[in-house]
Structure 1
Amino acid sequence: MTTDVFGSDVYDAVIVGGGHNGLVAAAYLARAGKSVLVLERLGHTGGAAVSTRPFAGLDARLSRYSYLVSLLPPKIVRELGLRFEVRRRSVSSYTPTERDGRPGGLLVGGDEARTRESFARLTGSDREYESWRAFYGTTGQVARKVFPTLTEPLPTRAELRARVDDEAAWRMLFEEPLGRAVERNFADDLVRGVVLTDGLIGTFADAHDPSLAQNRCFLYHVIGGGTGDWDVPVGGMGALTDALATAARAAGAEIATGHEVLRIDTDGTAPAEVTFRTATGEGRVVGRNVLVNASLQALAGLLGESAPTPAEGAQLKVNMLLRRLPRLRDSSVDPREAFGGTFHIAEGYEELRRAHAEAASGELPSVPPSEIYCHSLTDPSILGPDLVERGYQTLTLFGLHTPARLFEKDNQGVREVLLTGTLAQLDAHLAEPITECLALDADGRPCIEAKTPLDLERELRLPGGHIFHRDLSWPYGDGTDGSRWGVETTHPNVLLCGAGAVRGGGVSGVPGHNAAMAVLERA
């Protein structure tokens, strides 16, 4: 048996998992005067929202897994008194292309006049820009109405529809495949692709997928903060989880790392018994409520129940450290602007369709789509002073349409092939190979690492390597299952506070907040 001694015989809440959602729940409950214990398997808190120094001998603290913030409600930051901030990127995106043998691209951001000019230069008229403004004007109106509901009791579909109060917008986002709206509103293939990408982040779906998984993904990507902006966490993603852990501890929560939960025994009414393992043996604690900041599969395993079939992750995550930013073939754009926003690669509408079809048939995309951004341009604090002075920069690349099934026979080999192909697509728009700009670590190795869905499953226990734990849900309930906050399970005193909850996914803290509210309402 372990010799751990905790502060309570029976906790008001035992939280399984010290990722950001678990820490949000812990902070809220402890601030409300509840006794709280967080049990974390790893030797540190943070889960996928961490910052690490992956390259030996170099003071570069990268957001290794999750890397941008949109869905974290400011009210959570405010109510928990977090010392944490995000910074807006001056450029939203840059998408390079070549037309009539000449390099060019679409720059979105800076100011309205410059964006309009970029659209006109790409398409030859103002039509696409006006369609862009109208389309995102509509999504902005929906965002301002839907985003506040994420931290309120779960609305029914009818209630949310009434709140949106725009039948055309509701049909476009909630009822018909996203591809219809994209094709109806935009004519240019590149513009169509840029719009569609927000429906494909971590989601393996076609623009016309009847499941509407792409719509749900798109919705979560355009409603964040009521604006849809994706901002840079100052100090890296680990700054958020460090602030959350500090807030939870300051409020009185206990956090025990190196404690892997093995089992939850409950009849749903009496306090639950939670069995855990440490380096010195097994132990048990008792909680009136147990909040599980893990996947639905992990929850089922802890309860000894049948686990649902996991969804499938579909992304390649690449971290790089550069000695300098590469020069672009499109000399009209400063690389600091191009990489400061989201740099889209091989993400034209037809390219995305073809990549999905190839992957669905079991083949790696012949032209792998991906997108890149440079954290250190917006927030140089993640680099040591010496690296900043020498002009070093980070790059984060996120590849699309690479489902876990493609890596099952040879994860390492396929990873290398895909990485080579993805970098080749980037190089097609550069005036010099990206590999010539890579920094070298203390052992002389290039500073680049790649993570496949299988790597994420192994390292973070994400089922199928799915970054959202499962396909994203609609932000409403059906009104028939008694779910008030979207975190309830079949056991009244066991709640799901991870990304797999209704209104979960992304770095939001929403499931943690909602699980805490569910506990406090019953207190």
Structure 2
Amino acid sequence: MGVAYDYDVVIVGGGHNALVAAAYLGRAGKSVLVLERLSQVGGAAVSAEAFPGVDARLSRYSYLVSLLPPRIIDDLGLHLTLARRRVSSYTPDPATGGETGLLVTVDDDARTAESFAAIGAPDDARQFDLFSEDCRQLTETLWPTLMEPLLTRSEARDRVIAGGDARADEVWDAMIEQPIGAVIERTHENDLVRGVLLTDALIGTFAGAFDEDLEQNRCFLYHLIGQGDGRWDVPVGGMGAVSGELALAARREGASIRTDAEVIAVTPDGRVRFLEGAPREERTVTARWVLSGVSTPTLDALLDASGFERTARTGTPGGHPREGSQVKVNLMLTRLPRLKDESVRPEEAFAGTFHINESWSQLEEARQQALAGSIPSPLPCEIYCHTLTDPSILSEELQASGAHTLTVFGLHVPDHLLDGMDEGDARAALTRAVLESLDSVLAEPIEDVIMRDPSGALCVETKTTKDLDHILGLPKGNIFHGGLDWPFLEDDEPRETPAQRWGVSTGHDRILLCGSGARRGGAVSGLGGHNAAMAVLEADTTAGR
């Protein structure tokens, strides 16, 4: 006679990946319980009124979407709109103090070529396009595999070469086998152009262009692989619209979701203890499968609490908890600021990714400053203006006033720089570094256009790596839950079990990873949730359940 379980699956954590897993498993007829520590689901993919009395719902942590497959949207019947940005990027040129800059458009090749010429890099315009074409030989081939059982390295390489041109093997070696800095430096001459390309290898990762462990290459690949062409779209309604739709889908498929339910221990045989209610009461549920949407260190602690062996991913380079390396600042503006470069309107410059102090040499200088223990100055930053593409996150009154949001993402701020600092002091220092970096490329102080809330306070919200650790449980503030993995297995890695084949295995057979810590995790993608659900369904089918 079989053991009677409370649920087929209990999911620890209610982030967007957990909701994807719950929806797929519920749709397949499984009984599912999601336990979320916070008062709302969504994890980092949430919207909030960040400034009291200001009717704007900002994407508080995650902000753009690239890696969410249309198939997940279709499978789960999500009512989502992901809007394309009109401009790829704009980068003020530090060589001219921002009087000129590089504008890369989405569909105006002539305008882009003129911009390359304006910064003295006409030859790099063609190289820039060729580099993008080379990248697509990888990304267009590997993108569909992210929702399939893992290929091995050799199988992935063979598939790229079979689907590419005569240079596909060289492209694989340049992007996968050698530090990404080598190919960027070899193919492009201009310092600014090199930096624009390198930023995709560094976002959220403390790495150099030539690091031998190739963490920067993995970061680069994940930033370019989405949809096969690497575009990053704006979620209409804000990031909360994504998690909201996923929660609706999970409930529609029969999943039970409990918020304010803090898991305190799990066991390999499917026993989950959690605190719930007011006053807090300890409860226990059992399941045939436990899916972990929390970080690996958090899962380790939950196993420790039950006296069981820790369960870091085996055989994967990302199993170690690399520190995060970023600061995020949300701003509410009365209007867009003026630029020093009069050839580009602010509405164009801020419509895509606005790079600040991110030339090749500036990025390396910032890394060296961080290695020496200092917050970089100037701080390399990237800006995203949600409201130029989707004003719906603002009230009609704010829209009519010309107000806009800006999200600023600062690079090369490794978590350890804040160790020993008072959290308020650290937040103030990083906020100052971000605003000073902004001021260095604008024709007016950014503070002149920052909105004030009804109390008179500036509408500035700063989230550090410490905040991400304490609030969201991201180890050392790492937005990827730890080091990123290649989206394939090494040739000698095991793939006997469904969990291994889908990249969601742990050291315990009935505990699977379903969050950003899964093999193909990171960013708002739903891939970890989808792949964990597929592993459960495959295993149950094999067992005749």
TM-score (ref. length: structure 1): 0.96
User: For 1:150-179, what per-residue CA distance to the aligned partner results, in whole angstroms no more than 9, with x for missing partners?
Assistant: 110011111111111121111111110011
Tell me the equivalent position of 1:353: 364
Give me the whole-angstrom Cα distance separating, in 1, the residues matched to 2:310 and 2:373: 29
Tell me the equivalent position of 2:226: 224
Asked if the contact 2:321/2:483 (under 8 Å) is kept, the reply is no
Alignment partner of 1:425 is 2:437: yes
Give me the whole-angstrom Cα distance separating, in 1, the residues matched to 2:311 and 2:427: 28
Give 3-state SS (helix, strand or coil) of 2:100's partner. Answer: strand
Tell me the equivalent position of 2:351: 340
Give 1:139 deviation, angstroms: 0.7
Tell me the equivalent position of 2:494: 481
Alignment partner of 1:394 is 2:411: no
Matches within 5 A, 1:105-504: 105-110=101-106, 111-125=108-122, 127-165=123-161, 166-267=168-269, 272-279=270-277, 280-304=280-304, 305-306=309-310, 310-410=321-421, 411-478=423-490, 479-482=492-495, 483-504=500-521
Structure 2, unpaired ranges of 5+: 162-167, 313-319, 541-545
Give 3-state SS (helix, strand or coil) of 1:402's partner. Answer: strand
Tell me the equivalent position of 1:11: 7
Give me the whole-angstrom Cα distance separating, in 1, the residues matched to 2:112 and 2:121: 13
User: For 1:349-404, what per-residue CA distance to the aligned partner results, in whole angstroms no more than 9, with x for missing partners?
Assistant: 00000111110121211221001010000000010111001111000000000001
Asked if the contact 2:355/2:383 (under 8 Å) is kept, the reply is yes
Give 1:510 deviation, angstroms: 0.3
User: For 1:294-350, what per-residue CA distance to the aligned partner results, in whole angstroms no more than 9, with x for missing partners?
Assistant: 111111112223476632010010000001111111111110111111110000000
Give me the whole-angstrom Cα distance separating, in 1, the residues matched to 2:537 and 2:152: 22
Give 1:9 deviation, angstroms: 5.2
Asked if the contact 2:378/2:436 (under 8 Å) is kept, the reply is no
Letter in structure 2 aligned against 1:28: Y
Give 3-state SS (helix, strand or coil) of 1:495's partner. Answer: strand
Tell me the equivalent position of 1:5: none
Give 1:471 deviation, angstroms: 1.3
Cα distance change of structure 1 residues 101 and 462 upon mapping to structure 2, 3 Å threshold: closer
Asked if the contact 1:70/1:229 (under 8 Å) is kept, the reply is yes
Give me the whole-angstrom Cα distance separating, in 2, the residues matched to 1:144 and 1:520: 27
User: For 1:215-264, what per-residue CA distance to the aligned partner results, in whole angstroms no more than 9, with x for missing partners?
Assistant: 00000001101110011011000100000000010111110111111111
Letter in structure 2 aligned against 1:456: L
Alignment partner of 1:90 is 2:86: yes
Cα distance change of structure 1 residues 101 and 207 upon mapping to structure 2, 3 Å threshold: closer
Give me the whole-angstrom Cα distance separating, in 1, the residues matched to 2:353 and 2:368: 24
Asked if the contact 1:312/1:404 (under 8 Å) is kept, the reply is yes
Give 1:140 deviation, angstroms: 1.5
Give me the whole-angstrom Cα distance separating, in 1, the residues matched to 2:118 and 2:321: 45
Letter in structure 2 aligned against 1:273: R
> Which segment drifts farther, 416-425 or 457-466?
416-425
Give me the whole-angstrom Cα distance separating, in 2, the residues matched to 1:124 and 1:222: 23
User: For 1:47-78, what per-residue CA distance to the aligned partner results, in whole angstroms no more than 9, with x for missing partners?
Assistant: 00000001000110000000000011111001
Give me the whole-angstrom Cα distance separating, in 2, the residues matched to 1:356 and 1:98: 17
Give 1:419 deviation, angstroms: 2.0
Letter in structure 2 aligned against 1:226: G
Letter in structure 1 aligned against 2:442: L
Give 3-state SS (helix, strand or coil) of 1:324's partner. Answer: coil
Letter in structure 1 aligned against 2:524: V
Asked if the contact 1:221/1:228 (under 8 Å) is kept, the reply is yes
Give 3-state SS (helix, strand or coil) of 1:46's partner. Answer: coil
> Which segment drifts farther, 413-422 or 341-350?
413-422
Asked if the contact 1:368/1:418 (under 8 Å) is kept, the reply is no
> Which segment drifts farther, 473-482 or 103-112?
473-482
Give 3-state SS (helix, strand or coil) of 1:65's partner. Answer: coil
Give me the whole-angstrom Cα distance separating, in 1, the residues matched to 2:32 and 2:15: 15
Asked if the contact 1:406/1:414 (under 8 Å) is kept, the reply is no
Give 3-state SS (helix, strand or coil) of 2:99's partner. Answer: strand
Asked if the contact 2:98/2:441 (under 8 Å) is kept, the reply is no
Give 3-state SS (helix, strand or coil) of 2:442's partner. Answer: coil
Tell me the equivalent position of 2:543: none
Give 1:286 deviation, angstroms: 1.0
Letter in structure 2 aligned against 1:481: P
Give 3-state SS (helix, strand or coil) of 1:354's partner. Answer: helix
Tell me the equivalent position of 2:539: 522
Give me the whole-angstrom Cα distance separating, in 2, the residues matched to 1:99 and 1:508: 37
> Which segment drifts farther, 482-491 or 305-314?
305-314
Give 1:184 deviation, angstroms: 0.5
Give 3-state SS (helix, strand or coil) of 2:301's partner. Answer: helix
Structure 1, unpaired ranges of 5+: 1-7
Tell me the equivalent position of 1:46: 42
TM-score (ref. length: structure 2): 0.92
Give 1:412 deviation, angstroms: 2.4
Cα distance change of structure 1 residues 74 and 101 upon mapping to structure 2, 3 Å threshold: closer
Give 1:191 deviation, angstroms: 0.2
Give 3-state SS (helix, strand or coil) of 1:285's partner. Answer: strand
Alignment partner of 1:80 is 2:76: yes
Give me the whole-angstrom Cα distance separating, in 2, the residues matched to 1:132 and 1:171: 19
Count of equivalent residues: 511
Give 1:23 deviation, angstroms: 0.1
Asked if the contact 1:190/1:349 (under 8 Å) is kept, the reply is yes
Cα distance change of structure 1 residues 366 and 101 upon mapping to structure 2, 3 Å threshold: closer
Asked if the contact 1:154/1:475 (under 8 Å) is kept, the reply is yes
Give 3-state SS (helix, strand or coil) of 2:323's partner. Answer: coil
